[in-house]
Amino acid sequence: MSEFWDEEKATVEESTEAENDKKELETRDYEADPWAEGETASTAENAGGAETAEGTESAENAAAGEPVVDVYLANLEARPSETAKPKKRRSFLQKASLFLVSAILFGAIAGGVFVGVKAVNDHFSDKEESNQKVLEGKSETDDLPRGETGDYKLDTTGTVNDNTETGEDGESGSATAVDVSEIVESVMPSVVAINCYTQNSYTNPFFGGSSEDSSLVLAGSGSGIIIGQNDSEVLVVTNNHVIDGAAMISLEFVDGTTAEASVKGTEPSSDLAVVSVPFSSLSESTIASIRIARLGNSDDVKIGQMAIAIGNALGYGQSVTVGYISAKERQVTVDNVTYTLIQTDAAINPGNSGGALLNIKGEVIGINSVKYSDSSVEGMGFAIPISNIADLIEELSNREELSEDEYGFLGISNGKDITSEYANMLGISQGVYVRQIVEDSPAEEAGMFAGDIITKVDNTVITCMSDLQNFLSYTKAGTTVTITVQRMTQGEYREVELSVTLGHRPSDAK
């Protein structure tokens, strides 16, 4: 009986142990797989003992009449399947949406890059094109502005001679421009070389003294700017000191041909002169090759802007120098006359006098003059502002050569020059001091008095008696002019304007 209970107890204990093994298998953490490499090694080490235990257990269960449980197969059934965690797959709609979003994003990025590259390219292309845009003048066949009498009228706005487009801001160039070849090529037909000749003089070895023959020798060189034309001639402006005292003036044009010029009018106090060449002296090819310069506004010039100087340097032919505007309204005194000039560091050498100082648009903003330069200082050149002398150039261009009998007569005598030195010392204006008025003269009739200082006649500045005499030599008798004088009133000089009709010179005044 005791044996029966012993067998039943053993059977219950085995069942309980098997049940515990099953629960352990069910609750095992399969992330650390017991059937991996460690399991294989453990099984191999305990193979003998396990087989013995299984054989004993199977025999005991068989003897008890109970079914044999294969623990190995039970463990395999309890092992999680390899497909316990299936990979999640995207649907067709999700794939299509992802592709569409990627395509849109790529297109936006590519489009943005293309637009950016194009904008940068257009920006620099516009700058390059703007630096190449230049202003051309007009040839002889172009129409010019004229007054009611048919006289040449100087175009100070530049609109008549403007054949080139510019930017909206009027600036076709920029501070970064370094290549001015296109500008120079356009303006060069408007600039001429001037060669002045005097009669050859020599000393007689037998009788002493100096003599002159009919031969001419080159006395000096300069430059000029073609500023207009009338019905019969081309007009060129230059410095007065370039052509002063010349027996013959020769102009050389851009095509290399030369022609003799005659003086149209001079203004020594402003260092300006206008000479002319008849169309009859020019060939058709020369007329077709030359251009009228386009005048700019020197009042709009800014310090630091680029400046281009063109002229017949040292008489070797036309040359170009480039620099910047160094100063405006620079006061320079030469020969007791004070000038207001543009200063530039573009080289202005002997022979450049009368040539053009240009802005980056190819417009003439000044007339170069080496007369005001100092050879001991480098990088300081000067030019007469074109806006200050536009009216005077127009007046000089319309002057006529008069016979002595046609000269105008004012009626002052013993005039005294008031130089800039005296003017500064005495605190008075520079001009001509009137010592005496001729009785019944146009000056007396106009109300001029002894002690007045004549400073201006029409647009001509008067600094000395030679300026006044020069003005009367090209102004016909009977012409009414406006004379500006400084008059002492209540202890100080005040400006007074007088309207004077010039008379004929009396025989004893000729």
pLDDT for the residue numbered 157: 41
The average pLDDT across 338-348 equals 87
| Nearest alpha carbon to residue 333 among 384, 382, 372, 367 | 372
The average pLDDT across 45-57 equals 45
pLDDT for the residue numbered 34: 44
Please tell me which residue, 370 or 297, carries the higher pLDDT value. Answer: 297
Residue 454 has pLDDT above 60, yes or no: yes
pLDDT for the residue numbered 17: 61
% of the chain surpassing 70 pLDDT: 64
pLDDT for the residue numbered 366: 94
Residue 91 has pLDDT above 70, yes or no: no
Place 251 in a pLDDT band, splitting at 50, 70 and 90. very high
Place 169 in a pLDDT band, splitting at 50, 70 and 90. very low
Place 168 in a pLDDT band, splitting at 50, 70 and 90. very low
161, 388 contact by CB (below 8 A): no
379-432 pLDDT tens trace: 788 999 999 999 889 888 887 777 888 899 999 988 888 887 888 888 888 899
CA 139 and chain centroid, separation: 26
Contacts of residue 243, defined as CB under 8 A and 6 or more positions apart, other chains included, come to: 194, 196, 222, 249, 263, 266, 273, 275
pLDDT for the residue numbered 348: 84
The average pLDDT across 213-226 equals 84
pLDDT for the residue numbered 124: 54
Mean pLDDT of the chain: 74
pLDDT for the residue numbered 231: 87
The average pLDDT across 296-324 equals 89
Label residue 149 exposed, middle or buried (CB < 10 Å: 0-12, 13-18, 19+): exposed
CA 231 and chain centroid, separation: 36
Global model pTM greater than 0.85: no
Ranges 39-43, 162-166, 235-239: which has the least confidence = 162-166
The average pLDDT across 188-201 equals 88
pLDDT for the residue numbered 482: 95
Q: Which residues are catalytic?
A: 241, 271, 353
What is the distance between the alpha carbons of residues 138 and 311, in angstroms, rounded to a whole number? Answer: 20
The average pLDDT across 340-367 equals 90
63-80 pLDDT tens trace: 444 555 555 555 545 555
What is the distance between the alpha carbons of residues 395 and 267, in angstroms, rounded to a whole number? Answer: 10
Contacts of residue 137, defined as CB under 8 A and 6 or more positions apart, other chains included, come to: 161, 163, 187, 189, 190, 226, 291, 292, 293, 294
